[in-house]
Structure 1
């Protein structure tokens, strides 16, 4: 509903939190006018804060007035047992607090409690007016956590009761404050107390915008109607959601077109007024509203002026150092919508792997599952108070130029990317170590030999310095990535494949790339720091070719266990921990490791198999089949063999986004920075097989 223009200025006006709604009720009074429940001793009066009667309130999600029912069994009373008592919803200073609303309870379908007035000076005048019976009305502020909206023409049962739409049923809500107000408790007064957009100051005289007035007169408002009657007419019009009045007799098509043009112009003007008013109020310049509206200034001009005002104020206040905007806790409606939309798209896409789900989808997520991508774009524009008219291409393009909608899409793409990354089954993590580097330069890791054995020190003997030998291995990371796009046409066509499945597949591809890098260390057999290939007779880590058997396994364990340090003095006694082989060998290898005993020439079990069971962690990798279907490997514990390095420890793909230049839409870049290197050859052994 449009705001009334201000004709006299006050120093301060409360900015209403859009996540909090308001409704007004009156206290009972004696014949003398004094409150019937007044307790002079405690300076308190009993107040019915809320009932289950439907009350028209402003719905920020739908940008219209809707009847709202607060279910008392959904009321969650604050843990403190009280909420602040304010004046006219002013809540920006401790001096605004007149007292507290305490002893709240649900009784007979009502929220009842006592309003206690403090003895401080600010509370004296309001309390005195309550005592004398001049002030009888209170307005409760509450936050809705869960609600069900029933559209017009539909019926729905909520908590055992059937409701006829349009109506919003609050099934979970919390009282946040109680305010004493001068506004009457009749139905119309309740509507005006119900959080209409922007500022509310009941002390102001107000007048309706001329073009909005013309629009109402075209819908049947009398030309001599007062301002109050005009606003009541508008509120009823919003509630009824009537169709435009029938064409006057003889008007024909021309009359219909003229009527449609007039209505469209009124709607556009209403949208302009609302957006300008919102920008000025958020920028802290409400005094500029009338100048922009009366001067017929476009929204873009007002936006630029407010930006200049804000940046100028920041520089003046801090000497060009800038300032931080005040922080308001909690999510606004756009943030709630974005969270719900993200979860709805993930749920709708079906990309979550079996057994995984979103434990607690954001409020409204399941309701949005029926929305197409372009409907989500339109809803985002509506919540952002931006125009939603024009053809679909323009509307979607407008949504993509805002800051929030591309973030919504990027968050969904990012979640899909990570889902693909986590879903792809990789085996390198089983036996490889992990490390981190800070840049793309070549890094060096030193390998020190064992120290000399300690000498026996006899009487008068001198201590001697030992010697150590160092080797080194060099390694670095590289960047791997791809681009993909999300065009306006994709959104219009509701192509979830582009938004969800393509990032998902890029996540799988990123996971596969790390596996490629890790196993390439084994198959490429590159030179180590000493200039000799990883697997080489000089390194004593090549076994006699043969299938997995008692003989070849015993040789492998012996070669690894008898490796010496760099000084060629100390045996390192390394034990294999992993058996790594191509999938082609899985059948034969599992038979060998699964046999507890060996069979002799007479085919009867004669000897225990020392390699049976879980002595080795067995890894079968298809990438090895591409290199050799017979070769197999032994590896020592993690940290002794191959290490996979990531840039700055980022062990997952990274998604970047930017406004499309070559395409009308958004472009995404998936990248991951990684590398792998064998850090020592002594904990690795290769057998070419047979």
Structure 2
């Protein structure tokens, strides 16, 4: 065998197929016996099965029968129980089954009664596929002792799960017999329906021996007084018989099957044949598709990938409903190859190791796979993005720009103090000035790919980890830009000239140090020399001062050491004044100007910001897009990017407090 491709199913796969064949039903001998049925379910040949593009052959060496008492249903409906099997075997290249119509349901009675009357019931057997192989055109395969030419599918491994009564068979080589044996003649009164002669049912198998039914009633002869048959009376008798036949047909059809009623009257059907046709027309139609695949809900496949990446259960439950998570859990552990094939809905992918380009083209030519992978990448990108410390959001103003040009921000200043109106009633104009600040957004991004190596390794979690790492990188890029700008002190942003910088032993973070900083902050002025009138809102500290800052903001009573002959107040005057914000970046030695002792007072960033972070069109999270891979990359590429800019704004309000620090070439160095 050559040029074939095999795709084993995972342990949780529920791909299902059904093949159909005739069966035989043996009626009960008396009221105490249970009707039996028997069937030749499959003869090992080629079948046309709904849902498969090409013929199907089931490898009898690979089909598993895990139990003998398999449920029997009508039209594969679990609610329409009929009975069970008591013997299922594979003999002489065939699947044979015998069983009992043991259920006490209307469907069981329908099957038993109509089968005993000759209705050509057939069986539809359902099995779970564990491994299937596609044999392409031009190739030959030997299965069940026979040779078959492609294209076709070979079900290599499967498990027999259920059998149902249906109408049509897929295996044309199977045969069936129908018998209506009785231990003794029925002793019940004969009903009008049984008084008619049994029809010549052309659907019965010619090889099936039939037990003689009740002999037909001999038509009653009406003799004239003279002893000679009266033709008029005979004609009247025939008319009466025809009238009764038509009336019985109309009673059976009950006005619900007018087509059958008309055909039965015209073609001279007897009541028994009409009953069989009505029963057949009254049954629910068999399912149109006999192949069950996994749900194609994109959310299920998104959840599968997120589970593989180790996303916490709480976050999964917040994002997806219970049915979606249950469906995704059944696919837990599948690899990239099966994941892509399931999403694409393709059943004849080439093997990736033999034809990687063909596999990728087949997978990504569908509309669903690229979209689902992009959604998964976006969710993982955002997950990683949210992992990184984002304390900068609490101290920076978040703004939006609509392009990549340089933008100018303005803050209006001047004198707007109300003045007393003179006797002439004239109101004087206020003086209006402005201060300018710049802003510009740039693109930050990186490429990543679903590579040939990742697909061969078949690790779905590894693919999901890549966008998460890139999301973390995007968050780090913003944090690096914000804290790097703050610590670099651009244009002497914190300086004595701006009256927003102080160092020395008295600036240690304490009640006294905070009092000193608060005074310095409050004494800042507008360009016209008048008080700014803004109070501090945030206390920004490195991680080394976080606990001290929190205690300073929450402790009502003080326990500070007093100096000689000088008392200390017992109450904390700064309780609850400021919001404490801490960042590990402030003391990280990889940043120039970092310190574990410097701390900052800041105003509300929405009132007068010290630093502004602007995002293009207000999109403050990274984006993932699928792109065509470069010629030298065998796989599928994605790009993740975010557009943002960081710029210092107003130097009036931030206050930098340092203990034993001095300025030198715009860098802060600790005095040893």
Which range, TM-score by smaller chain? 0.5 to 0.7
Residues 353, 525 of structure 1: CA spacing in aligned structure 2 closer, same or farther, 3 A cutoff? farther
Residue 403 (structure 2) aligned to one of 439, 442, 451: 439
- Equivalent residues, number: 412
2:152 aligned counterpart, secondary structure? helix
Aligned residue in 2 for 1:350: 310
1:569-628 alpha-carbon deviations (Å, 9 max, x no partner): 3x1221111111222233544454455224423799840454543321112211110312
Aligned residue in 2 for 1:628: 595
Aligned residue in 2 for 1:538: 497
Aligned residue in 2 for 1:550: 511
Answer yes or no: is the 8 Å Cα contact 2:628–2:637 preserved in 1.
yes
Shift of 1:549: 2.5
Could you tell me how far apart the structure 1 residues matched to 2:359 and 2:628 are?
A: 13
Residues 524, 61 of structure 1: CA spacing in aligned structure 2 closer, same or farther, 3 A cutoff? farther
Could you tell me how far apart the structure 1 residues matched to 2:635 and 2:72 are?
A: 38
TM-score, normalisation: structure 1: 0.52
Answer yes or no: is the 8 Å Cα contact 1:576–1:616 preserved in 2.
yes
Answer yes or no: is the 8 Å Cα contact 1:396–1:488 preserved in 2.
no
Shift of 1:351: 2.8
Residue 625 (structure 2) aligned to one of 656, 659, 665: 656
Aligned residue in 2 for 1:672: 642
1:131-176 alpha-carbon deviations (Å, 9 max, x no partner): xxxxxxxxxxxxxxxxxxxx974689xxxxx9769999889x9xxx
Residue 615 (structure 2) aligned to one of 646, 650, 661: 646
Structure 2 residue 655 is the aligned partner of structure 1 residue 685: yes
Could you tell me how far apart the structure 2 residues matched to 1:672 and 1:454 are?
A: 46
Shift of 1:255: 9.6
Residues 350, 387 of structure 1: CA spacing in aligned structure 2 closer, same or farther, 3 A cutoff? closer
Residues 556, 606 of structure 1: CA spacing in aligned structure 2 closer, same or farther, 3 A cutoff? closer
Residues 396, 489 of structure 1: CA spacing in aligned structure 2 closer, same or farther, 3 A cutoff? farther
Residues 365, 455 of structure 1: CA spacing in aligned structure 2 closer, same or farther, 3 A cutoff? same
Aligned residue in 2 for 1:584: 544
Residue 563 (structure 1) aligned to one of 507, 524, 531: 524
Answer yes or no: is the 8 Å Cα contact 2:444–2:641 preserved in 1.
yes
Residues 338, 466 of structure 1: CA spacing in aligned structure 2 closer, same or farther, 3 A cutoff? closer
Could you tell me how far apart the structure 2 residues matched to 1:647 and 1:495 are?
A: 35
Could you tell me how far apart the structure 2 residues matched to 1:240 and 1:482 are?
A: 44
Structure 1 unaligned blocks of 5 or more? 1-56, 66-150, 157-161, 174-185, 187-218, 221-231, 245-253, 270-331, 528-532
Could you tell me how far apart the structure 2 residues matched to 1:240 and 1:585 are?
A: 63
2:528 aligned counterpart, secondary structure? coil
Residues 476, 242 of structure 1: CA spacing in aligned structure 2 closer, same or farther, 3 A cutoff? closer
1:607 aligned counterpart, secondary structure? coil
Aligned residue in 1 for 2:463: 499
Aligned residue in 1 for 2:10: none
1:481 aligned counterpart, secondary structure? strand
Residues 391, 678 of structure 1: CA spacing in aligned structure 2 closer, same or farther, 3 A cutoff? closer
Residues 512, 608 of structure 1: CA spacing in aligned structure 2 closer, same or farther, 3 A cutoff? farther
Structure 2 residue 391 is the aligned partner of structure 1 residue 427: yes
Say which structure is richer in helix.
1
Residue 341 (structure 1) aligned to one of 301, 317, 320: 301
Q: Which has the larger radius of gyration?
A: 2
Residues 153, 572 of structure 1: CA spacing in aligned structure 2 closer, same or farther, 3 A cutoff? farther
Could you tell me how far apart the structure 1 residues matched to 2:128 and 2:514 are?
A: 85
Could you tell me how far apart the structure 1 residues matched to 2:75 and 2:336 are?
A: 25
Residues 645, 240 of structure 1: CA spacing in aligned structure 2 closer, same or farther, 3 A cutoff? closer
Residues 472, 167 of structure 1: CA spacing in aligned structure 2 closer, same or farther, 3 A cutoff? farther
Could you tell me how far apart the structure 2 residues matched to 1:472 and 1:651 are?
A: 24
Structure 2 residue 348 is the aligned partner of structure 1 residue 379: no
Shift of 1:672: 1.0
Residue 448 (structure 1) aligned to one of 388, 402, 412: 412
Could you tell me how far apart the structure 1 residues matched to 2:140 and 2:349 are?
A: 26
**Cα-Cα RMSD:** 4.5
1:444-475 alpha-carbon deviations (Å, 9 max, x no partner): 01111143322222222533322111110011
Answer yes or no: is the 8 Å Cα contact 1:153–1:166 preserved in 2.
no
1:340 aligned counterpart, secondary structure? helix
Residues 260, 152 of structure 1: CA spacing in aligned structure 2 closer, same or farther, 3 A cutoff? closer
Shift of 1:427: 1.1
1:293-332 alpha-carbon deviations (Å, 9 max, x no partner): xxxxxxxxxxxxxxxxxxxxxxxxxxxxxxxxxxxxxxx9
Could you tell me how far apart the structure 2 residues matched to 1:499 and 1:168 are?
A: 43
Answer yes or no: is the 8 Å Cα contact 1:486–1:499 preserved in 2.
yes
2:328 aligned counterpart, secondary structure? coil
Could you tell me how far apart the structure 2 residues matched to 1:243 and 1:678 are?
A: 63
Shift of 1:558: 1.6
2:411 aligned counterpart, secondary structure? strand
1:79-106 alpha-carbon deviations (Å, 9 max, x no partner): xxxxxxxxxxxxxxxxxxxxxxxxxxxx
Shift of 1:243: 12
Answer yes or no: is the 8 Å Cα contact 1:655–1:669 preserved in 2.
yes
* Matching of residues 162-311 of structure 1 within 5 Å: 263-267=148-152
Shift of 1:516: 1.7
TM-score, normalisation: structure 2: 0.53
Could you tell me how far apart the structure 2 residues matched to 1:61 and 1:603 are?
A: 97
Aligned residue in 2 for 1:77: none
Answer yes or no: is the 8 Å Cα contact 2:535–2:603 preserved in 1.
yes
Could you tell me how far apart the structure 2 residues matched to 1:675 and 1:243 are?
A: 54
* Matching of residues 584-623 of structure 1 within 5 Å: 584-593=544-553, 595=555, 596-597=557-558, 598-601=560-563, 606-623=568-585
1:223-267 alpha-carbon deviations (Å, 9 max, x no partner): xxxxxxxxx9999688799999xxxxxxxxx99659999635142
Residues 632, 169 of structure 1: CA spacing in aligned structure 2 closer, same or farther, 3 A cutoff? farther
